[in-house]
């Protein structure tokens, strides 16, 4: 699945939120599986993002590093952040099947969380590609027909 770092970063936050909710076992497993599939890339994006805050931000009275639109480094920070978030990566991610049965009819998930997970959820069962057993080559199609 071709994703950009912004989608991965937002999905990691949304999945962390979902992981705190109670779901049936199958759905909880699917959520955890997607979290682990994007974990390494989300951590890289987070580290680079924090580096941008350190590079362009300033230490506030509360000891936190931050930026505001009025700050002189706001524009270069946002340019670099956009470049980071727009960078594409191809990851193998098995989407979470979103059905009333899987999430429960009483589940309440806000639209922002669902929007962040748009590429990671589906209403259709996942069907993995057929993979030949170890040691076997995939069968070639007969091109003479």
The domain ranges of the chain are 2-122
pLDDT at 145 over 50: no
pLDDT, tens digit (0-9, with 9 covering 90-100), for 82-116: 999 999 999 999 888 876 666 666 677 889 988 99
- In the block, residue with structure tokens 């639209």: 111
pLDDT given for residue 24 in this prediction: 82
- Looking at per-residue confidence, does 104 or 118 come out higher? 118
Burial class of residue 117, CB neighbours in 10 A (0-12, 13-18, 19+):
buried
- In the block, residue with structure tokens 């059905």: 99
Backbone angles phi and psi of 121, in degrees to 5: -125, 155
> What is the pTM (predicted TM-score) of this model?
0.75
pLDDT, tens digit (0-9, with 9 covering 90-100), for 52-74: 999 999 998 898 998 999 999 99
């Amino acid at each position: 699945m071709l994703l950009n770092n912004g989608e991965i970063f937002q999905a990691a936050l949304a999945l962390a939120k979902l992981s705190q909710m109670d779901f049936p076992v199958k759905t909880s497993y699917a959520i955890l599986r997607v979290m682990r599939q994007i974990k390494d890339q989300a951590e890289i994006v987070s580290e680079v993002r924090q580096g941008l805050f350190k590079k362009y931000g300033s230490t506030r009275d509360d000891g936190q590093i931050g930026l505001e639109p009025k700050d002189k480094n706001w524009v270069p920070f946002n340019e670099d952040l956009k470049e980071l978030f727009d960078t594409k990566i191809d990851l193998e991610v098995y989407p979470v099947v979103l059905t009333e049965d899987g999430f429960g009819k009483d589940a309440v998930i806000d639209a922002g969380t669902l929007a962040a997970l748009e590429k990671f959820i589906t209403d259709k069962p996942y069907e993995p590609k057929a993979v030949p057993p170890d040691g076997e080559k995939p069968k070639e199609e007969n091109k003479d027909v």
